[in-house]
């Protein structure tokens, strides 16, 4: 469950990214994350545990300073025992931002779930530290995480498998590489199991910057698909077999691009910066 925000403080931003973010030509998404974390005063901890590639952490260790970050540290966790080391926890405690790289979200959940690191990240986010992640690192941020599933437009009862995430919030479920990998069906299926949540489908090179007031603003070159099941009037999930299509009535869908917003509390979408008429 999300940690409680102390009285008089604001929760930090939550920044899930759809993966394959532009790192060289036009790195708008990562640059905004660096600025959010303090720019030259930023102290960002990169956690590349989702990836088995050695170069994943060093890539961001080079990139974030190029985008203006003052200090960047890479902390990988190969075993659950590593998550109890006090020197690593102290480094996270001092961070203004925490960033989870892509890879395999089940590797993240099995190595970090229920550990002092997971608890500390939740606590710090509730106290104002910003937490972002790309691809698998985006999926892990919420309480309910899509572990894996089948691609395709239509939801079936067996098209998605869910696992516990870090639990920074229970308001949404993330899916990434969304349009590129045709993942609408599995996100809708996840909402059929959890209709209280909002589904957020993130295209590549696209992020949802979610502020402490639960307003989501889109940044990047792609789109964000919002699936809202709060007005669901019927679901056949309770009687559907593993491969049966699921009937869902009353879903609301929004397609947002850079500058558009969605309030996770009121469930209201707005064109945001797009609505400003240029003269």
66-99 confidence digits (pLDDT tens): 999 999 999 999 999 999 999 999 999 999 999 9
Domain-located, residue 6: no
Please report whether residue 4 resides in a domain: no
Distance CA(29)–CA(205), nearest Å, equals 7
Q: For residue 127, is it within any domain? A: yes
Q: Which of 21, 139, 159, 204 is catalytic?
A: 204
Point out the catalytic residue in the list 139, 143, 159, 177: 177
> Per-residue confidence of the chain (279 residues) as pLDDT tens digits?
689 999 999 999 999 999 999 999 999 999 999 999 999 999 999 999 999 999 999 999 999 999 999 999 999 999 999 999 999 999 999 999 999 999 999 999 999 999 999 999 999 999 999 999 999 999 999 999 999 999 999 999 999 999 999 999 999 999 999 999 999 999 999 999 999 999 999 999 999 999 999 999 999 999 999 999 999 999 999 999 999 999 999 999 999 999 999 999 999 999 988 877 554
Where in the sequence is the domain holding 75, given as residue range(s)? 14-275
10 is catalytic: no
Radius of gyration of the chain (CA): 18
- Report if residue 179 sits inside a domain: yes
Residue 43 CB coordination number (10 Å): 19
Q: How far apart are CA 251 and CA 267, in angstroms?
A: 12
The CATH number of the domain holding residue 235 is: 3.40.50.880
Does 5 fall in a domain? Answer: no
Structural domain count, the chain: 1
For residue 135, indicate whether it is catalytic. yes
pTM: 0.97
Residue 134 inside a domain? The answer is yes
Nearest to 11 by CA among 264, 273, 270: 264
Residue 90 CA to residue 120 CA, distance in Å, equals 10
In a domain, residue 8? The reply is no
Q: Does 219 participate in catalysis according to the annotation?
A: no
Out of 51, 109, 130, 135, which one is annotated catalytic?
135
Residue 1 lies in a domain: no
């Amino acid at each position: 469950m999300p940690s409680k925000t102390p009285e008089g403080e604001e929760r930090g931003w939550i920044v899930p990214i759809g993966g394959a973010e532009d790192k060289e030509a036009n790195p708008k998404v990562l640059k905004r994350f660096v600025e959010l974390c303090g720019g030259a005063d930023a102290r960002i901890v990169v956690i590349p545990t989702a990836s088995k590639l050695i170069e994943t952490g060093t890539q961001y260790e080079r990139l974030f300073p190029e985008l203006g970050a003052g200090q960047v540290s890479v902390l990988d966790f190969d075993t659950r025992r590593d998550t109890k080391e006090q020197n690593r926890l102290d480094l996270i405690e001092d961070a203004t931002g925490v960033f989870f790289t892509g890879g395999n979200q089940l590797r993240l959940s099995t190595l970090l779930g229920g550990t002092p690191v997971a608890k500390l990240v939740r606590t710090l986010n509730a106290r104002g530290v910003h937490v972002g992640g790309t691809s698998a690192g985006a999926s892990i941020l919420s309480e309910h995480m899509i572990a894996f599933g089948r691609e395709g437009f239509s939801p079936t009862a067996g098209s998605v498998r869910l696992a516990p995430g870090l639990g920074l919030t229970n308001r949404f479920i993330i899916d990434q590489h969304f349009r590129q990998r045709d993942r609408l069906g599995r996100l809708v299926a996840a909402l059929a199991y959890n209709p209280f949540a909002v589904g957020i489908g993130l295209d590549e090179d696209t992020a949802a910057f979610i502020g402490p007031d639960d307003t989501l603003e889109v940044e990047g070159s792609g789109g964000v698909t919002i699936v809202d099941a709060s007005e669901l009037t019927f679901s056949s999930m309770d009687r559907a077999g593993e491969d049966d299509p699921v009937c869902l009535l009353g879903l609301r869908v929004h397609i947002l691009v850079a500058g558009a917003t969605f309030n996770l509390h009121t469930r209201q979408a707005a064109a945001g910066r797009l609505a400003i008429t240029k003269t």
